Structures are given as C-alpha cells and as structure tokens.
Chain A
Amino acid sequence: MAERGLSHSTSCWRQHALLLEGTGKRERERDRSRVVLAMGMFLLCFAVLAARLIVLAVAPAPAESVGYSARQALSASRPDILDRNGEILATDIKTPSLYAEPRKLIDVDEAIDGLMSVMPDLDGEKLRHEFATDRGFVFVRREITPAQQAAVHRLGIPGLGFVEENRRVYPAGNEASHVLGHVNVDQEGGAGIEKYLDDEGLKVLRESGLSAEGAQRPVALTIDLRVQHALRAELAAAMERYEAKAAAGVILDARTGEVAAMVSLPDFDPNTPAEALDPERLNRVTGGVYELGSTFKAFTAAMALDEGSATLSDSYDATKPIRISSFTIDDYHAKRRWLTVPEIFIYSSNIGAARMALDVGKVRHRAFLTRLGLLDAPGGELPEKAKPLVPANWSEVTTITASFGHGISSTPLAAASAAAALVNGGYLLPATFLPRSRAEARDLARPVLRATTSRDMRYLMRLNVTNGTATKADAEGYRVGGKTGTAEKIVNGRYAKNRLLTSFLGAFPMDDPQYVVLVMLDEPQGSAETHGYATAGWNSVPVTGNIIRRVAPMLGIQPRLDEPGKGKSGVTLASY
C-alpha cells in the first residue's frame, strides 16, 4: 500500500513542486506564523481552563445541604388569635412536612412502595411522575403526623427528608369558624379574620418591623368563646329541632358595636379548610342577604316616630287591605280596625306598617334606611361582606314592601347594628371583631335617631315580648325586647307559602340595653310541639329566649326578678 502510494505521490509532488516555485519564501513564513498564532490561542484557552480548574479546587466545597428551597419552604408564622378572655382560638404549631429529593432517590419504586405503605392514600402515579424528574425538591405531603414521620423515618430511604413547618391549629374546631376563617397550606389567610390579618394586620405588622418570628403579638378578638359556644349550641339544637336548612345568629354589644358571638350554620372546621368551600357553609351573618320580613317593622316604627309623622298614641287605618298596582297588602291575622302604633307593632300589622311608611314618604324612607346602614354592606373586619339588594327605582311599592321587610334584602349583621342604634339612644356604631373601648365607641358613634325615639322603641320592643308575638323570648329577669319576622322566601320568582325564613331581632335588658341578639332560621318546619306553626314566634323566638338565658350571666347582666310593670296577658298572639 505504501509502496503504491509512493509512486503516485512522487509524481504528484513533482507537479506541485513546480507550482510552488511561484509562492515566495515570505508568504510561507507568514503562513507559518499563523500556525504559531493558532498555537498561542490554544495555549491561552488551555491556560484559562487550567486556571478555572485551580480556582474551583481552591474554592470551598459546598456544604452537604438539602437545597435552599427546603429552607425557603418554611412557611411564615402567624400571630395567635385569642378570644376576649385570652382563650386561644388559633395558634401555630410546628409539624413535619415530608419532601423528596428525586435526584438523590436511588430506587424510585422502592421509595414509592415504602411511602404507600405508610400513607396508602398517596397518589402513586403522581409520585412516580415527580420522582422521575431530576428536581432537587418535591413535597410528598405537607403536615404529617409525628407517627407518620417516625414510620417514614424507619423506612430508611435515602432522598426523603422532613422540614418543620408551621401549621395553623384551631383548638375550638367549628366553634368560631366563620369569625376566624381559615388558612391554606402556605399559611395564607383564605377567609375571616385570618384573611383580614393578611390584608391589613400583618401588613401593618410588617411595616412596623414586627414580622419577625416570635415578635408577633397575639390578636385578641371581641368574641367570647363561652358565649360563642352557647349561641352555636342553641342554634344547632334549633336547627335540628325545627329541621331548618340553616341557622344564623349574632350577639352584638349595643354600646360599642363589638361582636360577642357570631354563628352561621352549617359551618366548617377551620382545621380542614376544604369544607369551607361548600357554598352551603357561607357566612350568612355578613355574607348573605335576606328579606328579613316583619323584623323590619321595628325600623319602620322607629322612622315614623323619629320623623315626627307619628307618636305612640297615633292610630292608622287597618280596616281593609291596601291595593296598589297589582299588589294587595293584607294582614295575616287581620283586626279590620284602626290600630295604634304599639298595636301595629305587637300585632305585626302589614297594613299599619305600610301606612306609617307611606306617611313618611318614599324619599325619606330610603334616606332613613340608608342612615341606619341597612342599604350598605355590614361593618366589621371580615372580608365576607355582602351588599344589600335594593331596587334601583325606589317607588311607592318599594316603600310599602320595605316597611314590612320585603323587596329589599339586607345582611343580618347590618340589621343587628341598626337595631343597636334603635335601643342604645340612637347611635349607629359599625360592628367590629376587634376590641373597642367605650371612649373609642363614643368617637365613632354616629347619631341617627333622637334619644326619645330610642326610648319609645325600647318600650315597643319590650311590649312585643310581654304582650305581642315574642312572648317565648322572655328570659326571666333579663327584660328581653324585640321584633319577630317571618318572611316567605322567593322560589322561582314567587313568594312560597311553605318556605319561610324566620327571625327575631331583640335586645336585653330593655331598661338599659347592653346586647342585641339576632337569630335567623332558614326554612324551619312546623311540628306537633309547635301545633304545626313554623312562624318566628314558634322557633326563632323561643331559641332567642334560650340563648339569652344562657349567655346573659356570662355577659355580666344582672337578672331582675322583681321586674315592675310586666303585664302577663297570658295570650299568645298570632305571630307575623
């Protein structure tokens, strides 16, 4: 082969040699210098690489670490939430979270089999998919129990590890669920006070440099866990007894606007926040709007008295139904005679209420309800706030229906706040879940009624309990007063006779009202015990009585068993 190549090449070369004569020596020298330059460049490259290697060798070796993402994953701590007496409603505890480092897993199948044996509800397919990646950090499960941690630890699988994470715990479970709300797995507030703290409180804390762990002061609420529990227990019992779909209640300090207890059933356990997503479990007190029915007659009466169009001794014609456009307004138990204002109130006369409202006029009616905050979203810190439903055009018909609580829908909390103004001397205070002193309340208070109107309303509300539709609310010694309401719910655009929403809006003690109570039952059913009645007087009213009997001692209200001027009529007047 070489032999043959020899002869060929020789002849080739001879040709070349001849041609090469044309190229000068200088040019060849230049070409050679180019090779030297190329060598220089390569030398430079290799020198740089060597230098880099040496620099890396001298650099300190990285610490054996889990990867900084694991450390970052530690979620933020949150302040404890306490009730007004210092009972813990929400706190942080440290729990282990299980993570995997797929790139360190040697046998993915073994790891998954082991994990499934400890936590059979893990999604094996999903894990297999995640473990097949080269990621450095994957959460397998957040917030596992110490027993699970020990079991996984015993598996001895390299590439699995634990990080301590803060977990939010609500020791009272369901008790104050709608007030507290819940947090997600990253400790971010999703509802209630928790969300409020994220939106406002924590932001403020951070701005003031207090966000560091351990530096977060507990947040005290106005909620009294004992009162909250009593309210919830009574409402839950009532829901069962009257087979109601839902129940809600709120107890408000009439002098400061502080919410002492707030319950909406069905509720959820904030420790398992997924439950809260069920729309049936919404917070009905601040997040739902309802036609509260005759309860609104308290506002109608207050308006007539405050605007000066009526006094307690005035009478209105309730002899026949009112006909306006296509509506006929009639009374449930019609008296067919002229009724005094107190009679209208305790008999809950629709005709009388409508006449009182028409006397004032639709413009001033609307202005009055606005002044009382009934046409606005309720106060309070909870992010779940519903806007009332109000007709765009406020007509005569609107005034008539609104006078007995139909045609406009309000939140129960707004109604309770307005009721507080009716009885506390005429001052409207925004509701709050954060403690507020009397002095602060005085600064915030907005006078909306004359003091005399408030006095008259106290009389009317008390009268309604002693002689009217709400006798079953009378907790002995606590001088309860209030107004009942039984509203037919709208089903497919019509009022349904058998679907009721009953409510009682009361206050106690009526000689110096300290607390307002609102109780609402959604579709309570009549029973033998109630003689088939499902109206407020048979359910919401006695429930309120029970509640007040239980909570009044906790709230420091002195019972007065020598109560003067209590008329025992012995007659249960038809409610409505």
Chain B
Amino acid sequence: MFNFGRADRSALADWWWTVDRALLAAILCLAVFGIVFSMAASPPVAAKLGLDEFHFVKRQAVFVVAGLGLMVAVSLASPRLMRRIALAVFVVGLAAMVLALFQGAEIKGARRWLDIGSFSLQPSEFVKPAFVLLAAWMFAEGKRRPEIPGVAMATGMLALVATLLLLQPDVGQTLLLALVWGALLFMAGMSWRWVGGLAGLGAAGFVTAYLTVPHVTERVDRFLDPASGDTYQVDTALEAVTRGSWFGRGPGEGTIKRVLPDSHTDFVFAVTAEEFGIIVCLALLAVFAFIVLRVLYRSFREHDIFIRFAASGLVVMFGLQAVINMGVNLALLPAKGMTLPLISAGGSSTLSICYALGMVVGLTRRRVGAEAMIGGGLLESGNRWHA
C-alpha cells in the first residue's frame, strides 16, 4: 500500500516515513474492533427502531472510513495549520452550538444536535478537540511569552464552552473538558499549591452539581447506594459482563443487548464482553492503554512545549473518555453518557475522535531534533520541520 522510497519527498511519502506507525496500527485496530463490535451490538437497536438490521453497522463503517481519511488528512497538516483549522472549527462549532440551543431537536432532554440533511451533527463533539488544541497553544504561548496571559485565555475559552455545554445540558462533556484543561494546567508545570487548590475547586464544583442538579444527585446516589433507586442499566451491563466470562457467549449469542438501552453507544463495552468475552475486552483495554501511554511517552520525549501540550491534552481527552466509559460499564463510576472512542456507534463522535487522533498522529510525527536528549546537554536544535 505505502510503497514509498526513502528518497520520495512527496507529502504522503514524507508522512509515511515520519509518522508513528505503531500508533497508527493501534488506531486502525480500534477502528476494526469498532465495526466488528457494532455488528454485535447495534442490530437489535436498529430492529427496535424499525431500520435495516445492519443500518448502524453500515453507518459505522462509512463513518470509520471517512474518519480515517479525515485523520490522515489532519495529520498531514503542520502544527501551525492545525492551529488555524482548530480555530476555524472552534469558532464555527461554537456558533453551531448556539444555533443548536435554539433550533436543535431535543433528544433525550438535551439540545445538542443540528440536523444537516439526514445526518444530525453534534457540534460540541468537534469543539472539544479544537478547544484542547487551542488551549494547549495558549498554555504554550503563555509559557513562552510571559506577557501573553495564556492561562487566563484558556480558562476563558473553557468557561465559554462549558457554559454552552451546560445550557444543553451536558454535564459529562463539561466535566471531561474541565478535566483535560486541568491536566494541561498540571502538565504545564503548575505549582502543587495551585494543583491542590484547583482539585479543591473541582471537588466543590462537583458537590455543587450534586446538590443543585437533580439528575446528577440521582446518578451519584444510585452509584453510592444501589438500593436507593433503579440501577437497571448498570446492573444489566454488569450482568452482561459476568455472563460473557472469559470467552464470551459467541458473536450474536448475547441477549443483554436486546434489553440494554444505548447498547450500541454507551454500553457497547458490556455487550462486547457478553459476546466476545473478557479476554477480548482486556485486549481492547490494552489497545487503549497503548495509545494513551505511547502518545504520552512521545510527549514526554517531545521538546516543543506546544506539541507536548497539544498531543498529551488530546490523548488525555481520548483516554479519559475511554476510562470513564469502561468504568461506567463495569460499575466503577456513576452512570454517565460517554462514548467509547471509535468503538461506540455515532457519526459525530467518530469523526470528532478521528479529528483529534489525526492531530495527535500529526503532532507525534518524527522530526529531526524534536526529541530532547533527556539528561543530555543538547536541548535545542534547529530545523524542526526538516524531514
């Protein structure tokens, strides 16, 4: 497929020789997993909605292919171009979010969708990665040039996005973005005193949400004390996992997927466990862990702080989403609508994840001198974009 000579200097050849191919392989692996698992999880949902049995499978395949194309395209861009694209996506996305608040169809009690033809778009999904990249840029600029209030600007952006998200309302995504923002702040070298203060603030915010938003109260109460209410979804998910045991009941043999609402999105992990077994789940977990740790490791080696912040921020978002989703499926966290990246069905989320991963792949491309020699004296070297 990629039949480029080392001497080939075309953009694609250049990309192929500089890209982190192990990371790419892991992402491809996830994409294939996603399609296979959606074959198991989505037919009953499609049948329930009166659609063709493989409606969601086909859709997912289309989105995954489109997403992978998007990913490669994004990864071809230079960091500078990525910032410009992110800025454009961010601005357009915010506008679309505002529009969705007024025009969007209300689905499951939230206004976060915009209908575009037959496809309903969730603008907040695209705003998320764009926000992370821009925030990373702000932090980096703030560090490089003390006269630029990078942290304040990133915080302002967070406030803006969080406000729009909470208006939908979408507490889960707000939490996710706040966590990513916190992680960026943390990795930007904030003093421990600040970290502690922010953690306290976060805890206070959570308690406030618990006390004031009934829906949050309910979810948390049920998690803490399962006897207090209907824990049907989580119980059923857990039952699915236990029934699957090590080797699963076999593809198509699961029954819980017929029962579990959102079996093809939020609870795809449990359905996978029932049909394909816990060993496959562990493998899936390993792929996620590999992607997150590999990118973080690459960031650790990275010498340019913008690239380090951006890549690690994006992968932290990706990783948190996966961890939260799997945690909910395994009843380790309170029920929270969070998709499993690339595995859960859903157009907007798949494309958004691919966009984010595209940036990660692009940012982690090998560049001469990009990697710092840890413990060595040579920290700065020229010509970073030389291939």
CB neighbours of A19 from chain B (8 A): 144-145
Inter-chain contact B296/A39, CB cutoff 8 Å: yes
User: Size class of B's contact patch?
Assistant: 35 or more
CB neighbours of B145 from chain A (8 A): 19
Q: What total of A-B pairs shows CB separation below 8 Å?
A: 146
A–B complex contacts, Cβ < 8 Å, 17 sampled: A2-B78, A17-B382, A31-B188, A36-B300, A38-B183, A39-B296, A39-B297, A39-B300, A45-B319, A45-B323, A46-B285, A46-B323, A49-B323, A53-B281, A56-B241, A59-B242, A62-B243
Interface check B238, CB cutoff 8 A = yes
Interface check B282, CB cutoff 8 A = yes
**Partner pick for A10 among B81, B293, B383, CB 8 A cutoff:** B383
Interface check B363, CB cutoff 8 A = no
**Partner pick for A2 among B11, B242, B308, B323, CB 8 A cutoff:** B11
CB neighbours of A54 from chain B (8 A): 278, 282
Interface residue stretch chosen among A22-30, A177-185, A361-369? A22-30
**Partner pick for B144 among A6, A9, A16, A53, CB 8 A cutoff:** A16
Inter-chain contact A27/B296, CB cutoff 8 Å: no
Q: When A32-B374, A42-B293 are in contact, do A49 and B332 touch as well, CB less than 8 Å?
A: yes
Q: Across the two chains, which residue of chain A brings its CB closest to B187?
A: A34
User: Size class of A's contact patch?
Assistant: 35 or more
Interface check B326, CB cutoff 8 A = yes
Interface residue stretch chosen among B92-100, B105-113, B149-157, B255-263? B255-263
Interface check A495, CB cutoff 8 A = no
A36 to B292, CA, bound (A): 12
CB neighbours of A27 from chain B (8 A): 189
Inter-chain contact B80/A57, CB cutoff 8 Å: no
Interface residues of B in 318-359 (CB under 8 A from A): 319, 323, 326-327, 330, 332
Q: Across the two chains, which residue of chain A brings its CB closest to B239?
A: A62
A3 to B288, CA, bound (A): 33
A235 to B16, CA, bound (A): 104
Interface check A5, CB cutoff 8 A = yes
Interface residues of A in 30-89 (CB under 8 A from B): 30-32, 34-39, 42-43, 45-46, 48-50, 52-54, 56-57, 59-62
Q: List residues of A whose CB falls within 8 A of some B CB.
A: 1-3, 5-6, 8-10, 12-13, 16-17, 19-20, 22-23, 25, 27-28, 30-32, 34-39, 42-43, 45-46, 48-50, 52-54, 56-57, 59-62, 103-104, 106, 134, 136
Inter-chain contact A2/B76, CB cutoff 8 Å: yes
A3 to B292, CA, bound (A): 30
Given A13-B384, A46-B292: 12 more A-B contacts, CB < 8 Å: A1-B78, A2-B78, A39-B300, A45-B319, A45-B323, A46-B288, A49-B330, A52-B332, A53-B273, A54-B278, A57-B278, A134-B261
A265 to B153, CA, bound (A): 87
CB neighbours of B316 from chain A (8 A): 38, 42
**Partner pick for B11 among A1, A8, A46, A48, CB 8 A cutoff:** A1
**Partner pick for B285 among A37, A50, A106, CB 8 A cutoff:** A50
Inter-chain contact B76/A38, CB cutoff 8 Å: no
CB neighbours of A30 from chain B (8 A): 189
Q: When A1-B11, A9-B384 are in contact, do A56 and B242 touch as well, CB less than 8 Å?
A: yes
Inter-chain contact B243/A5, CB cutoff 8 Å: no
Inter-chain contact B330/A52, CB cutoff 8 Å: yes
A50 to B285, CA, bound (A): 7
Interface residues of B in 10-59 (CB under 8 A from A): 11, 14-15
- Least distance between A129 CB and chain B CB atoms (Å): 15
A453 to B141, CA, bound (A): 116
CB neighbours of A6 from chain B (8 A): 78, 385-386
Interface check B79, CB cutoff 8 A = yes
A53 to B169, CA, bound (A): 32
- Least distance between B2 CB and chain A CB atoms (Å): 16
Inter-chain contact A43/B11, CB cutoff 8 Å: no
**Partner pick for A42 among B246, B259, B289, CB 8 A cutoff:** B289
CB neighbours of A3 from chain B (8 A): 11
CB neighbours of A52 from chain B (8 A): 330, 332
Interface check B68, CB cutoff 8 A = no
A34 to B383, CA, bound (A): 27
A103 to B14, CA, bound (A): 54
Inter-chain contact B296/A35, CB cutoff 8 Å: yes
Q: Across the two chains, which residue of chain B brings its CB closest to A6?
A: B385
**Partner pick for A43 among B79, B293, B382, CB 8 A cutoff:** B293
A417 to B188, CA, bound (A): 95
- Least distance between A163 CB and chain B CB atoms (Å): 20
- Least distance between B319 CB and chain A CB atoms (Å): 5
